[in-house]
Amino acid sequence: MQIVSSNAAMQRLAKKWQRAGALIGLVPTMGFLHEGHLSLVREARKRAGKRGKVVVSIYVNPTQFAPTEDFSKYPRDLKRDLKLLRVEGVDTVFVPDDKEMYPDRRDVPARFSTYVTEEKLSQTMEGASRPAHFRGVTTVVAKLFNIVLPDVAVFGQKDFQQAAIIKRMVRDLNFPVRIIVAPTAREPDGLAMSSRNKYLEGDLRRQATVLWRAMRATKVAVKKIKLFSAAVLKRDVKKWIETEPDARLDYVEFFDPETLVPITEVSPGTHMALAVFVGKTRLIDNGRL
Ligand code: AMP
C-alpha cells in the first residue's frame, strides 16, 4: 500500500493508472476510520474491480469547519487508519496536508481564492445550521476529483445531504465520475457510526441512541397513520429527543429524497433527517420513512 502526500505525485500516479486502463475508485474521508468507512472501501473495490485501483483520502478539511467548531480537536489516528486500510487491500492512501491543499490560505489569501458553491440543495438542514460547511465540502471534493481522477467515488448515506450535493455538483460541472451512495453502518444499538462518537463519554453514549429511537418511532407512526402533518411530527420528535437530559434538537426535517424540498404532509417514502446535540457533540442521522 502506497502512501502519497503530494498532489503532483498523486496525479502522476492516477494518470499512469488511466493509461494502463485501470479503473480508479476513490473514498474521501477525514480519517479516524470506523466500519462505516471500511464498508465504502469495499464498495469502491467492488466497483473498480480486481484490476482497478482503490484510493482512500484522509484529510481533515479546515474549510468545512466554522471557527467555533471542532476542527482542532477532531480525532486523528493515522497509524491506526493505515493499518485498517492495509487489511482492506487499498492500493493508495492520499494524505495531503493543509499547505498542499490550501497554499498559504490564511497568511496570503490571494494564493487560494477559488471555491465551488452549490446554491440550492445546500440551503437547508446542515447548510442552514452550518453556513460555510458545504462550500468547504464541494471545494475539497472537487479538488480531490482533480487530483485522484477517479472513475467512481463512494460516499455514505449517513451524510445524505452531502451526497445529494456532490451528485448535483458532478452533474452541473460535468466531472467524469460516477457517484455511489452506500448505506449507513450502525452500532448494534442503532447509533450511526461516526468518528465523533469518540466524544460520547459515560451516559452520553447511551443517550445518543435517541436519534435512532426517534426515527424508528416516527416511522411506526407514519406507517400507521399514512399521512401525517410534518409540523406535528417535528413537535413529537423534539419532545422525544428532549426526554434525554443532555440531548437538544438542532433541527428535524422531512423532505423529498431527490430534491431535498421540505414536505408538509409526510407519508411512507418521505425522507427524514435530524441533527441533535448530545452534550457538546453534534450528531446527525437520516432515513426513509
Ligand atoms: P467522514 O470521515 O466523516 O468525513 O466520512 C467520510 C465518508 O464516510 C463520507 O462519505 C461519509 O458519509 C461516510 N460515512 C461516515 N459515517 C458512515 C457510516 N456510519 N456509514 C456509512 N458511511 C459513513
Best residue among 81, 159, 170 to mutate for probing ligand 1's pocket (most ligand atoms within 8 Å of CB) is 159
CA of 133 to the centre of ligand 1 (A): 16
Amino acid 108: pLDDT:
44
pLDDT(164) > 70: yes
Q: Whose CA is nearest to atom 7 of ligand 1?
A: 29
Q: What is the DSSP letter of 191?
A: P
55-87 pLDDT, tens per residue?
Answer: 999 999 999 999 999 999 999 999 999 999 999
- Residue-range domains of the chain with CATH: 2-182 (3.40.50.620), 195-288 (3.30.1300.10)
Q: Give the atom of ligand 1 at the shortest distance from the alpha carbon of 40.
A: 22
User: Which cell goes with 128?
Assistant: 442552514
**Using an 8 Å Cβ cutoff, are 22 and 112 in contact?**
no
pLDDT(265) > 70: yes
Instruction: Please tell me the number of Cα atoms within 13 Å of 57 on its side-chain side.
Output: 29
Q: CB under 6 Å to ligand 1: residues?
A: 29-30, 36-37, 39-40, 155-156, 158-159, 182, 184-185, 192-195
224-249 pLDDT, tens per residue?
Answer: 988 889 999 999 999 999 999 999 99
pLDDT band at residue 111 using 50, 70 and 90 as cut-offs: confident
Buried/exposed code over 161-200 (b: 16+ C-beta within 10 A; e: otherwise): bbbbbbbbbbeeeebebebbbbebbbbeeebbbbbbbebb
Q: Whose CA is nearest to atom 13 of ligand 1?
A: 156
* Cα–Cα dist 272/253, whole Å: 6
Which residues are known to be catalytic?
A: 37
Q: Give the atom of ligand 1 at the shortest distance from the alpha carbon of 195.
A: 3
pLDDT(104) > 90: no
